[in-house]
Chains A and B, each alone.
Chain A
Amino acid sequence: MKKLNRRQFLRSSTAAAVMAATPGLAYSQMFGSAAPFSDYRALVCVFLFGGNDSFNMLVPTSTAEYNAYAASRNQLAIAKEDLLPINPVLGAENFDFGIHPSMGGLKSLLDDGKAAFLANVGPLVVPTTRDDVFNKSVPLPPQLFSHNDQQDQWLSLKGVATSKTGWAGRIADLIRDNVVAQKMATNASLFGTNTLQSAEETIAYVMGPNGPFEFYGFSNDPETLQGQQRLAFEAIATANHGSVYERAFGDVQQRAISSADTVLGALRNPSTPTFDGLFPSSQLATQLRTVAQLIAVRDELQMQRQIFFVAMGGFDTHDDQQILQPGLLGDVSASLTAFQAALASLSVEQDVTTFTSSDFGRTLTSNGDGSDHAWGGHQLILGGGVAGNAIYGNYPVPEIGGLEDVGGGRYVPSTSADQYAATLARWFGVEEADIGAVAPSLANFNVKDLGFFNV
């Protein structure tokens, strides 16, 4: 990475001309020639901002284990009789499980084999035990327990490196020559700029929860004033600007106007399903409904590989956790259930895998009426390709002072976010030789694939 000193950056027409000629800021998918994919696949990342307290999402219900959980969590514990029983075919050899009472939809998906848990997963550089943490004998992801840093860890998998790219961004770069016909970027976000989709060569496209918005003032007809206005707007956006900030801003404007045409054109096709009445009313559901619509128009947009980023906030439950959590987890469950039904109606369940990530798990201990920042947590994986109704990874009994507890009920992950991402990337079609570029710390772990897909 070159570091320019300020003198080299003196404003000059030559420098600006060189910058303008540097490729990489347009959708670079346009240049390239590798073989296209023969099928369609999409990954949908559902990010739960704030740090989901997943100790209450998946709970042991066998007597001894439940009692350990209840004693540890105290007033944060869910009453045993309220937990919804599940019967996983894998991962429940030692004791039984229930899920949070607000997640009825998820229970159905589990029962139908369309959903699975990945237990106690989180950012790791190398396999790490509690003693490794105490003895400082292994490298750890920097700034554990800090929101933004651990979001970055999850989404970038950078470990102790300083990379600014995300693992989905790196996938988009790796496959860009295979998807040259796509009319939309491989990475699309419905929840703003994010690290997951940040890349070196390709640009993620950011739309709103309902998809792109149209520009009021512009038309495509150069015979009209609005048409001329558009041409002027584009000429101004792409002019030879003097500062780095104007150039970056103009690039966004240009992408906004060109992508809105294409994507809105497809979404507004009368044959695009609207899924009326299927989705609940929530921000997450709105985003997932739009994702389902975009998947419905994949052929028109000539999409073969897509990664969507959707998200919801509110999981930082330092206060009032017992009041807030039913609404949060209920929303996740209902929105994902509706999304899965929408995919079924499009006959693409096999082609779409949805997965959750979150800043971190939370402390098993209480701060009075909530929980604090911790490390490992449980995540959800959904889709027709998933070998479902199972709990992957190693589920630790939630107990203060347990083998994974580094203090206060902060659990060391037993599975790394790199292993999680690598498994998803392989299903998505990333070549084995490239998996290390997606999940750089994978090399440090013996298990390269968590096996949560049907073969």
Chain B
Amino acid sequence: MKTTRLLSLAVSLLITLAGCGGGGGGSSQPPPPPAPAPITKAEAFQFLNQATFGATEAEAQNVINTRYETWIDEQMAKPASLQLPHLLSLPQPVFLFELQPDRVDIWFRNALHADDQLRQRVAFALSEIMVVSQLGALVNSTYSLGDYYDVLARNAFGNYRELIEEVTLHPSMGVYLSMLGNEKPDPVLNIRPDENYARELMQLFSIGLVELNLDGTEKLDGMGNPIPTYDQATIEAFAHVFTGWNYTGFVNFQNAYETPTNQILPMKLYPAFHDDGEKVLLGGAVLPAGQGGVQDLEGALDNIFNHPNVAPFISVRLIQRLVTSNPSPAYVQRVASVFNNNGFGVRGDLGAVVKAILLDDEARPDLPMEIDGKLKEPLLRVTQLYRAYNAQSDSGRYPLLASYIFFGQGPLQSPSVFNFFSPFYSPPGELRNSSLVAPELEIATEYQNTLITNYFFAQTFFQNWLIDKTSPDYNEDTILINFQEEVDVAADADALIDMVAGKLLGGEMSDTLRTEIKRVVEIIPADQPLFRAADAIFLTVSSPEFAYQR
């Protein structure tokens, strides 16, 4: 049933493409470039694990047919799947924290089913760079968090300058890093402007702590030391810039408070609470006194945007989220150059940056090296399994509010503005000894590994109890994965393993994994195909090779 539908979809896509694609065009003079080598299924999986919430066989076929660049172009043309409309469609509770489960639910619905997969994946990457979190002061601001995520999704292929302005003025960020309500100094009371947003905007969202070359390596001074990008005085200057902003809709700054309406609207400037003095910013740029808070903000964001660090800084962050933990300097430089100029003289074109990241040779090297790729984030391991096996509950909901506990991460559920893991994390052992990083390994602890292995075990094996829906543990929100196809072939261990390898690993499975799965599967009597299928999937999704993104 499901298979037939997917198959017919794939077939219809094939036909469509043959209709418009084939042929070649007439009799132009220069010889046509040699036809590119066909994309293999494993290559399509590699690409899709970089560009979506998990490769599926159907989408792989789509990539094979359309090829990478066309696939990216089609994806970028798709409108953003959003969260806020869904949240607003639900009855408004007295306390908005009650909608947090729905916010996480719509995140999973979009991650698993939305057809703007590339946009969703990039939005997720951005949510790990410009971090706000449900855990803390925003727990009761669910509309605001949904809208913040929508800002990231809408701007995922837009311009970084526009993105950073929307982020800066968003009440979620305003609350999370306390720019909202930040007021000009009061020398009598020893009150200075709050430095929180000023500091993290520069350290984490834009330029970082030390000056970078275009290729992402650190610039060094004559003594061989890194060069700080700013000092405390710069932070204080920016802190003065970010004064006077609060929730919109009030006459008086000091009476402003959060409502269901204003938490999704940009913060408003209350001029009387803005510091109107002169500010000296990065590189000695001066914001003149008396130009007002809006001009100050625009000038300050321009000042950051035009800092040479932004291109390599953002490029490295996005490459690490999408493709590899340890990009070569040359790869970074190629991408950062596109950030600086998209080919049409535009700086900060994130769509062009994403395209450059995904189409770079280093994203799919001919000769794979053992430092290529990255560890998948736990959430991405879960979504890949769910997409491969069409995970659904009868209600349609994904009740995964506790995502950050089960998996060590969840949508807008970081423990701090420093994200779930550090881009610089280097685990002890051969990685550190070789000066390599593996950010995702910071949360792949013994403990978190146990929890997620158990989650996979439950998701695969407990089907045996739940699938007939008579178990007392079953309810309409229970997420079930559909592996009927595996059950149907489970009497034949090799056929079963081939099928699982095809859906989860693009057809490429190591000998050890295959041998071990086969050994265990064949212990299970052939008349218990549900167990056999569950075992094959469980051992595959909990394996290092599934956790690895090539």
Decide if B286 is an interface residue (CB 8 Å cutoff).
no
Assuming A74-B191, A229-B539, A245-B438, is B447 touching A206 (CB within 8 A)? Answer: yes
Select one of A208, A229, A243, A259 contacting B370, CB under 8 A. Answer: A243
| Inter-chain contact B181/A1, CB cutoff 8 Å | no
Decide if B446 is an interface residue (CB 8 Å cutoff).
yes
Decide if B79 is an interface residue (CB 8 Å cutoff).
no
- Smallest CB–CB gap between B526 and chain A, Å? 14
A319 proximity list for chain B (CB < 8 A): 137, 178, 181, 194
Binds B, one of A116-124, A140-148, A267-275, A348-356: A140-148
Q: How far is the CA of A314 from the CA of B139 in the complex (A)?
A: 14
| Inter-chain contact A145/B548, CB cutoff 8 Å | no
| Inter-chain contact A372/B512, CB cutoff 8 Å | no
Q: How far is the CA of A70 from the CA of B513 in the complex (A)?
A: 66
Decide if B498 is an interface residue (CB 8 Å cutoff).
no
Query: Considering the complex, which residues of chain A in the window 182-228 have a beta carbon less than 8 Å from any beta carbon of chain B?
Result: 189, 192-193, 198-200, 203, 205-208, 212-217, 225, 228
Could you give, for residues 330-372 of chain A, a 1 whenever the CB lies within 8 Å of some chain B CB and a 0 otherwise? 0000000000000000000000000000000001111111101
| Inter-chain contact A215/B453, CB cutoff 8 Å | yes
| Inter-chain contact A240/B512, CB cutoff 8 Å | yes
Instruction: State the total of A-B contacts with C-beta under 8 angstroms.
Output: 249
Q: How far is the CA of A233 from the CA of B450 in the complex (A)?
A: 12
Decide if A24 is an interface residue (CB 8 Å cutoff).
yes
Decide if B112 is an interface residue (CB 8 Å cutoff).
no
Q: How far is the CA of A111 from the CA of B518 in the complex (A)?
A: 65
| Inter-chain contact A193/B520, CB cutoff 8 Å | no
Could you give, for residues 159-203 of chain B, a 1 whenever the CB lies within 8 Å of some chain A CB and a 0 otherwise? 000000000000000000110011100000111111110010001
A364 proximity list for chain B (CB < 8 A): 190
B524 proximity list for chain A (CB < 8 A): 225
| Inter-chain contact A4/B422, CB cutoff 8 Å | no
| Inter-chain contact B545/A252, CB cutoff 8 Å | no
Binds A, one of B65-73, B100-108, B425-433: B425-433
Decide if A260 is an interface residue (CB 8 Å cutoff).
yes
Decide if B20 is an interface residue (CB 8 Å cutoff).
no
- Smallest CB–CB gap between B187 and chain A, Å? 10
Decide if B90 is an interface residue (CB 8 Å cutoff).
no
Assuming A1-B433, A164-B432, A365-B192, is B450 touching A232 (CB within 8 A)? Answer: no
Select one of A22, A203, A407 contacting B428, CB under 8 A. Answer: A203
| Inter-chain contact B547/A246, CB cutoff 8 Å | yes
- Smallest CB–CB gap between A163 and chain B, Å? 10
Return the chain B residue nearest A24 by Cβ. B429
Query: Considering the complex, which residues of chain B in the window 134-148 have a beta carbon less than 8 Å from any beta carbon of chain A?
Result: 136-137
Select one of B199, B457, B535 contacting A146, CB under 8 A. Answer: B199
| Inter-chain contact A213/B181, CB cutoff 8 Å | no
- Smallest CB–CB gap between A142 and chain B, Å? 8
Return the chain B residue nearest A366 by Cβ. B191
Query: Considering the complex, which residues of chain B in the window 503-550 have a beta carbon less than 8 Å from any beta carbon of chain A?
Result: 510, 512-513, 516-517, 519-520, 523-524, 531, 535, 538-539, 542-545, 547-548, 550
Query: Considering the complex, which residues of chain A in the window 256-306 have a beta carbon less than 8 Å from any beta carbon of chain B?
Result: 256-257, 259-260
B177 proximity list for chain A (CB < 8 A): 318
Decide if A251 is an interface residue (CB 8 Å cutoff).
yes
Decide if A9 is an interface residue (CB 8 Å cutoff).
yes
Select one of A6, A367, A368 contacting B369, CB under 8 A. Answer: A6
Could you give, for residues 227-259 of chain A, a 1 whenever the CB lies within 8 Å of some chain B CB and a 0 otherwise? 011001101110111111111111111011101
Decide if A46 is an interface residue (CB 8 Å cutoff).
no
| Inter-chain contact A232/B446, CB cutoff 8 Å | no
| Inter-chain contact B446/A252, CB cutoff 8 Å | yes
Return the chain B residue nearest A160 by Cβ. B225
Number of interface residues of A (CB under 8 A): 94
- Smallest CB–CB gap between A452 and chain B, Å? 31
A246 proximity list for chain B (CB < 8 A): 544-545, 547-548
Decide if B266 is an interface residue (CB 8 Å cutoff).
no
| Inter-chain contact B203/A146, CB cutoff 8 Å | yes
Return the chain B residue nearest A213 by Cβ. B450
Decide if A132 is an interface residue (CB 8 Å cutoff).
no
Decide if A41 is an interface residue (CB 8 Å cutoff).
no
Decide if B445 is an interface residue (CB 8 Å cutoff).
yes
| Inter-chain contact B418/A318, CB cutoff 8 Å | no
Binds B, one of A11-19, A32-40, A99-107, A433-441: A11-19
Q: How far is the CA of A409 from the CA of B190 in the complex (A)?
A: 10
Q: How far is the CA of A274 from the CA of B446 in the complex (A)?
A: 24
A408 proximity list for chain B (CB < 8 A): 192
Return the chain A residue nearest B462 by Cβ. A216
Given A229-B535, A257-B450, A370-B194, output 9 extra A-B contacts at Cβ < 8 Å. A15-B370, A74-B191, A213-B454, A236-B544, A241-B510, A260-B446, A318-B194, A364-B190, A365-B192
Residues of chain B touching chain A, judged by Cβ–Cβ distance below 8 Å, are 136-137, 177-178, 181-183, 189-196, 199, 203, 209, 226, 228, 232, 235, 325, 328, 367-375, 415-416, 418, 422, 425-436, 438, 441-451, 453-454, 457-458, 461, 510, 512-513, 516-517, 519-520, 523-524, 531, 535, 538-539, 542-545, 547-548, 550
- Residue pairs across A and B with Cβ atoms less than 8 A apart, 16 shown, are A2-B434, A10-B367, A11-B368, A143-B228, A145-B232, A148-B418, A206-B448, A213-B451, A214-B450, A236-B512, A239-B510, A247-B430, A252-B444, A255-B446, A364-B190, A365-B192
